[in-house]
Amino acid sequence: MVDGPTLALDAMGGDHAPGIVVRGADIALARMPDLKLILVGDEAQLRPLIENTKRLANSDFKLIHTDKAVGASEKPSVALRSGRNSSMRLAINQVADGEADGVVSAGNTGALMAMSKFVLRMCPGIERPAIASFFPTRRGETCMLDLGANVDCDSENLVQFALMGEIFSRMVLGLSRPKVGLLNVGSEEQKGSDAVRGAAAVLRETESENFEYVGFVEGDDITAGTVDVIVTDGFSGNIALKTAEGTSRMITQFLRDAFKSSWAARLGYLLCRGALEQMRKRLDPRRYNGAVFLGLNGISVKSHGGTDALGFANAVCVAADMCRYGFLEKVKEEIALYGDSSGANLTRQTSVAS
Amino acid sequence: MVDGPTLALDAMGGDHAPGIVVRGADIALARMPDLKLILVGDEAQLRPLIENTKRLANSDFKLIHTDKAVGASEKPSVALRSGRNSSMRLAINQVADGEADGVVSAGNTGALMAMSKFVLRMCPGIERPAIASFFPTRRGETCMLDLGANVDCDSENLVQFALMGEIFSRMVLGLSRPKVGLLNVGSEEQKGSDAVRGAAAVLRETESENFEYVGFVEGDDITAGTVDVIVTDGFSGNIALKTAEGTSRMITQFLRDAFKSSWAARLGYLLCRGALEQMRKRLDPRRYNGAVFLGLNGISVKSHGGTDALGFANAVCVAADMCRYGFLEKVKEEIALYGDSSGANLTRQTSVAS
């Protein structure tokens, strides 16, 4: 049982930490008994919680004590300067020091990104990191990136996101040749910003056996499941993510109101409840928990701040899968093959290769 | 009955034209009997349809014949060059010629925007047009702009959109001092692109009795109804709009699947049907039909291409309301008051005024 990946968990990050982190770690161990976990946080709080667990308490875990945590609304720059002994920072350090293969935190996203980038550095050849996550779609799941790491992206960034996204989706969805689309305001070639059109020009010319570039997609393609990977800048991606979440919440509230609006509806709801529960599961944000920071020279996974133990466990398992799959090595290989940090290189080298 | 606005309708635009245009016109007349309508399209197709209507047939309508129409997928530049005798162009010309107070079309959005801009020109002081529409929210309705007229917007454009949006929302929602927010990836001051932060700096300094600038809002605020007017560039706005539509469609499909998944669920559905119908109405895109082109020197309203007669009638009524309300005059007044085309002017003049 020592072959599995070792993961450092920021036990103090997130709205319901450290409880959900400890219970989440326990759930993750039930699914992946070969995991080795390092919990970083306040020992006085963590010990009793761990004693209450079935598997974690009896596993070969490690506890690193600190009573410092990064605040949920702390500015990334402040966290970076003054959070050197925070649970988040010490957990990331474990990866940099070679003690862990990856880090998971439900804490402050901006701080986690800033610290991960500072401590782990960028993956050689990648210019900007991207936040990637999965969306439920009418056909299954779609990976989208960037969800907010970079407000401004140029065409080179978008091309690199496409490469990282297809590798990530091959890993998570088990697809052999995922379809990749660029998010735009129309499907015609002349539409969109310079960055989007520039990235399209490069991707159109790319012939890779690893992915298929299908062109521009629009906002409604995200949930339609038209493609497996949707590439966009962090501004639009973040707005699309939150718009989808908001719309989903609004419809859920409207549904709840409808089911309460009459006695017939209340009775009807009781009859539908099992079926609606299935639907709720299809949309369950915990299933899609774990926004992954791609492009760093190390595995860093962000769990949703408000998630529960199950959601946190899913984020832990995503990080474990990335380690097992050799995600970093695959990104380095493709970047070396298709061009280091230049879209022009990508075109040239794939043209020769194809 | 000659006091109402005169509207020119592109009778050949949209997926189900001319049927929905004629029936939509008839519904609009039932609501607003003082409207005067000019239908532009193929007389041979229109005459029998009009004869089947109750009110339109007996109203003081005008018919302008043309057998040319702009194709749904025609490029705006091509439509502009070769569509001089199209129903869309001739309908817009009616406004420019002073024969109509506004134009409504369910045809090709890009072509309608290009032609409207070319024929009607920009409203003095406004630099770029914006597409505005309403979203259903948990609290009511929110106006969002730009939904796709401009891929790149600078801070000045965004400030002008804010002014046009608050006037439009005061008109449609009847609010005395609507809340205005700028769409961003976070609510902190340092977040976002230069354009968004620049617009925020100007709006923060603006003290107007007509609207309240509340700061940055995020994607999930659109449906939460946090503000009355959401201002963004056409790229993010279009993606947010389509993401919301797609999410809504996905959940509707999941619901349909759930209600069909067992006999208990089918029975439950029958009991809930009335209540769900109420919910469907709350979300009905036809209620929010009518994307308005703001910033032009004339009233031009785009109906959804796939809408039915009821949706088209709503778009006609929005155009009629804008004419009655004196929308163009109000925009001109505010732009003159708060600064012509410069955010700096806006700040300076309102500081003096406040």
DSSP states of B58-85 as a string?
A: TS--EEEE--B---TT--HHHHHHH-TT
Here the tokens at position B266 are 């089918």
User: Is it true that the peptide bond before B146 is cis, omega within 30 degrees of 0?
Assistant: yes
Q: Which tops the pLDDT comparison, A86 or B275?
A: A86
Cβ-defined contact of A245 to B283 (cutoff 8 Å): no
Q: Name the residue type at position A279.
A: M
User: At A125, is the secondary structure helix, strand, or coil?
Assistant: coil
Calculate the dihedral angle through the C-alpha atoms of A125, A182, B251, B228, rounding to the nearest 10 degrees.
100
Predicted confidence band at A337 (pLDDT cuts at 50, 70, 90)? confident
Predicted confidence band at B347 (pLDDT cuts at 50, 70, 90)? very low
Chain position carrying tokens 């129309």: A186
Task: For residue B333, count other CB atoms closer than 10 A to its CB.
Answer: 12
Q: What is the pLDDT of residue B342?
A: 46
Predicted confidence band at B353 (pLDDT cuts at 50, 70, 90)? very low
Record: fold of A128-288: Isopropylmalate Dehydrogenase (3.40.718)
* pLDDT, mean over chain B: 90
Cβ-defined contact of B244 to A241 (cutoff 8 Å): no
Highest mean pLDDT, choosing among A303-307, B6-10, B248-252, B319-323: B6-10
Here the tokens at position B141 are 């309705």
pLDDT digits (tens, 9 = 90+) for B159-198: 999 999 999 999 888 889 999 999 999 877 778 889 999 9
- Pairing assessment for the beta strands A130-136 and A36-41 based on DSSP bridges: unpaired
| Chain B interface, best mutation among A271, A278, A283, by max B CB count within 10 A | A271
CA distance B90 to chain A (A): 26
pLDDT digits (tens, 9 = 90+) for B313-325: 999 999 999 999 9
Q: Which tops the pLDDT comparison, B96 or A281?
A: B96
pLDDT above 70 covers a percentage of chain B that reads 94
Cβ of B243 under 8 Å from any chain A Cβ?
Answer: yes
Determine the Cα–Cα distance for residues A304 and A320; give it in Å rounded to an integer: 17
Q: What is the pLDDT of residue B2?
A: 53
User: At A173, is the secondary structure helix, strand, or coil?
Assistant: helix
Instruction: Give the range among A5-14, A156-165, B186-195, B296-305 with minimum mean pLDDT.
Output: B186-195
Q: What is the pLDDT of residue B173?
A: 83
CA distance A140 to chain B (A): 11
Sequence ranges of the domains in chain B: 1-126+295-325, 127-293
Please check the confidence at residue A236 and state whether its pLDDT lies above 60: yes
Cβ-defined contact of A272 to B274 (cutoff 8 Å): no
- Residues A301-322, buried b or exposed e (16+ Cβ, 10 A)? bbbbbebbbbbbbbbbbbbbbb
Please check the confidence at residue B280 and state whether its pLDDT lies above 90: no
Which among B137, B238, B268 has the least Cβ separation from residue A269? B268
> Do A232 and A155 meet the contact criterion of CB atoms below 8 Å apart?
no
Cβ-defined contact of A269 to B269 (cutoff 8 Å): no
Q: Which tops the pLDDT comparison, A352 or A216?
A: A216
| Chain B interface, best mutation among A247, A249, A279, by max B CB count within 10 A | A247
Q: What is the pLDDT of residue A134?
A: 87
Predicted confidence band at A350 (pLDDT cuts at 50, 70, 90)? very low
Determine the Cα–Cα distance for residues B338 and B331; give it in Å rounded to an integer: 10
**Which of chain A's residues have a Cβ under 8 Å away from the Cβ of B152?**
193
Please check the confidence at residue A214 and state whether its pLDDT lies above 90: yes
Q: What is the pLDDT of residue A206?
A: 85
Q: How far is CA A339 from CA A96, A118, A327, A328, in A?
A: 26, 24, 18, 16
Please check the confidence at residue B23 and state whether its pLDDT lies above 80: yes
Which among A75, A138, A247 has the least Cβ separation from residue B223? A247
Cβ of B263 under 8 Å from any chain A Cβ?
Answer: no
**Burial class, B277, CB count within 10 angstroms (exposed 0-12 / middle 13-18 / buried 19+):** exposed
Task: For residue A331, count other CB atoms closer than 10 A to its CB.
Answer: 23
Q: Which tops the pLDDT comparison, B285 or A267?
A: A267
Do the domains spanning B1-126+295-325 and B127-293 agree at the CATH topology level? yes
Please check the confidence at residue A137 and state whether its pLDDT lies above 90: no
Mean pLDDT of A256-275: 90
Q: Which tops the pLDDT comparison, A285 or A291?
A: A291
CB-facing half-sphere around the CA of B156: CA atoms within 13 A: 12
Q: Which residue of B has its CA nearest to A243?
A: B219
pLDDT above 90 covers a percentage of chain B that reads 70
Cβ-defined contact of B275 to A283 (cutoff 8 Å): no
> Do B184 and B217 meet the contact criterion of CB atoms below 8 Å apart?
yes
DSSP states of A25-62 as a string?
A: HHHHHHH-TT-EEEEEE-HHHHHHHHHT-SSTTTS--E
Which among A246, A248, A257 has the least Cβ separation from residue B251? A248
Q: What is the pLDDT of residue B286?
A: 67
Q: Which residue of A has its CA nearest to B137?
A: A250
DSSP states of B99-117 as a string?
A: S-SEEEE-S-HHHHHHHHH
Predicted confidence band at B139 (pLDDT cuts at 50, 70, 90)? confident
Cβ of A28 under 8 Å from any chain B Cβ?
Answer: no
CA distance A17 to chain B (A): 23
Q: Which residue of B has its CA nearest to A254?
A: B279
Please check the confidence at residue A298 and state whether its pLDDT lies above 90: yes
Highest mean pLDDT, choosing among A242-256, A289-303, B50-64, B254-268: B50-64
> Do A121 and B162 meet the contact criterion of CB atoms below 8 Å apart?
no
Please check the confidence at residue A17 and state whether its pLDDT lies above 60: yes
* Superfamily in which the B127-293 domain is placed by CATH: Isopropylmalate Dehydrogenase (3.40.718.10)
Please check the confidence at residue B262 and state whether its pLDDT lies above 60: yes
User: At B144, is the secondary structure helix, strand, or coil?
Assistant: strand
Q: What is the pLDDT of residue A21?
A: 97
pLDDT above 70 covers a percentage of chain A that reads 94
Cβ-defined contact of B238 to A265 (cutoff 8 Å): no
Q: Which ipTM score applies to this complex?
A: 0.87
Which among B190, B218, B239 has the least Cβ separation from residue A236? B239
Determine the Cα–Cα distance for residues A123 and B276; give it in Å rounded to an integer: 50
Residues 83-142 of chain B whose Cβ lies under 8 A from any Cβ of chain A: 136-138
pLDDT digits (tens, 9 = 90+) for B36-76: 999 999 999 999 999 999 999 999 999 999 999 999 889 99
Please check the confidence at residue B230 and state whether its pLDDT lies above 80: yes
Calculate the dihedral angle through the C-alpha atoms of B277, B283, B286, B289, rounding to the nearest 10 degrees.
170
Record: fold of B1-126+295-325: Isopropylmalate Dehydrogenase (3.40.718)
Highest mean pLDDT, choosing among A43-57, B162-176, B328-342: A43-57
Q: What is the pLDDT of residue A347?
A: 42
Q: What is the pLDDT of residue A286?
A: 67
Q: Which residues partner with B212 through β-bridges?
A: B179
**Which of chain A's residues have a Cβ under 8 Å away from the Cβ of B244?**
219, 243-244, 246-247
Cβ of A222 under 8 Å from any chain B Cβ?
Answer: yes
Cβ-defined contact of B258 to A275 (cutoff 8 Å): yes
Determine the Cα–Cα distance for residues A49 and B46; give it in Å rounded to an integer: 75
Here the tokens at position A30 are 């039930």
Mean pLDDT of B83-100: 97
Cβ of B276 under 8 Å from any chain A Cβ?
Answer: yes
Residues 51-90 of chain A whose Cβ lies under 8 A from any Cβ of chain B: 75
**Which of chain B's residues have a Cβ under 8 Å away from the Cβ of A150?**
none
